[in-house]
Amino acid sequence: MKLWIKTRFIGNGTFENPKKPDLARLEDRSHYSALALNENECLVRVSCKPEDAELLKNLTILNDDDALEIIKSVNPNAELEDLDVRDIEVDEIAKQLGIDPKARADVQVPKGKKVLQDQENHLMALICEKVGMMKQDWDAEAQNSGRWSRGRDIEIDLKRGWADAHEFVLSKIRSKLNNCKEPEGR
């Protein structure tokens, strides 16, 4: 799962106590990138497992639109994808299904274009295929979402770094995985 968080910096910037975002002691169990807003605050793109996200509930969690507004206020030419990180949960699900997360590197993009979102989209597509969610299923999912009209629209938002599209696809994958699990006691 990926979240946008506005938080404070902790640490004084020394080797022994480096300056880093306050992620509620989740630093060792997450991937993150940060954009300094001033000396004390930063915008953070964080990736963690859903059960770890509970630790972040006391921080300011932002939606994509708010995060983009903040990013643009710092750099008008930047986009959400410029602060993106690979998703720990996607890697874990891929491994669970016997897919090497390094398969994301199969995706090549033109020089100068951001690559992470295309790679993450590719890995999620491999996962979807493995759990029985085919391309044609995504048009129906998109129409039922109330936000997108086609599966392609979800993919476009995924490639733009939008957390809500990413979480929408992950929620469908989680649901498929939970429905495939054997009941306890068998």
User: SS3 of 7, please?
Assistant: strand
Among 58, 75, 50, 76, CA closest to 5: 58
Give the Cβ contact number of residue 152 at 10 Å. Answer: 13
**Average pLDDT over the chain, rounded to an integer:** 88
- pLDDT per residue as tens digits for the range 86-122: 999 999 999 999 999 988 888 877 776 778 888 888 8
Residue 134, classed as helix, strand or coil, is coil
**Of 96, 147, 153, 77, nearest in space to 121 by CA:** 153
Calculate mean pLDDT across residues 171-178: 91
